[in-house]
Amino acid sequence: MHATALIAEDEALLAADLRAQLLRLWPGLEIVATVGDGASAAERALALQPDLLFLDIRMPGMSGLEAAQALAEDWPDGGRPFPLIVFVTAYDNYALPAFEHAAADYVLKPAQPERLAKTCARLQAALGRRAQAQGAAAWEAPLDQLRALLQAGVAQPPARPAPLQVIQASAGNTISLVPVDEVIYFEAADKYVRVVTATHEHLIRMTLRELQLRLDPAVFWQVHRSTIVRCTAIASAVRDDAGRLTLHLRGHGDTLSVSRLYADLFRAM
């Protein structure tokens, strides 16, 4: 079976070993690119649209899971089916049950030939099934797997600290104390996060992922890789002809986009 694949691994020797083993086990596999960080993986995968992605979980900057999430949100409609993803990981303990529960394949590094052979067989079977699927069906399995991994918190530590009650935002010599229940939404902005209330905006120096761990997930919903919104601030979710969702907010003129990964949050009861 012919297929194309991209490898993202920041350790060059491990990347070369994985490439050599894959080509030996799967002669019809074409490795279209090998990159060393998550941002490059997302960029090259969007450009090349391979059938398969082998993503290291921990890479400089954007992790493998974040790269997969970015791809799921930016993958073009009407193009090739979303890639099947294999996570290459040094994780053990709590992370592996999460991978197994999500039914996304994974390989512990350094990759062992016997385990990698099973992965290749699974991928070939999955590609065969996908070739028979029509339309959205080719999207569903890998997106469901990725959604389950995100919900399982594979990229997060197992313990969640107590939810924040107040956000401390500094500007010059002033520190503003913003009650969390006044925040409408948070939006990633480079190395900062925008904190948007009904009347003000603030910047805090932390990542959205770090902030998410300090928020109550029943109150604040992630709707895009760069956006977390207070659920009670959502007035409506409007779906356009292409199926994309846009959120309209109570008492605020901004609108927020919902990515494919989080569209299941908005289903009529």
With tokens 């002033």, the residue in question is: 174
Task: Compare 238 and 150 and report the one with higher pLDDT.
Answer: 238
Q: Residues 117-133: pLDDT tens digits?
A: 999 999 999 888 888 87
User: Is pLDDT above 60 for 155?
Assistant: no
What was the pLDDT predicted at 204? 95
Overall average pLDDT of the 83-93 stretch: 80
Q: Which uninterrupted H or E stretch holds 99?
A: helix 95-102
Q: Is residue 162 helix, strand or coil?
A: coil
Q: Domains of the chain by range and CATH?
A: 3-152 (3.40.50.2300), 166-265 (2.40.50.1020)
Q: Please give the sequence-ordered ranges of beta strands (E in DSSP) within the chain, or none if there are none.
A: 3-8, 29-35, 52-56, 84-89, 106-108, 166-171, 174-179, 183-189, 192-197, 201-204, 220-224, 227-230, 234-239, 245-249, 252-258
d(CA 258, CA 225): 9
Contact between 206 and 200 (Cβ < 8 Å): no
Contact between 185 and 228 (Cβ < 8 Å): yes
Q: Residues 209-257: pLDDT tens digits?
A: 889 889 998 999 999 989 999 999 999 999 988 788 999 999 899 999 9
pTM: 0.74
Q: Is residue 84 helix, strand or coil?
A: strand
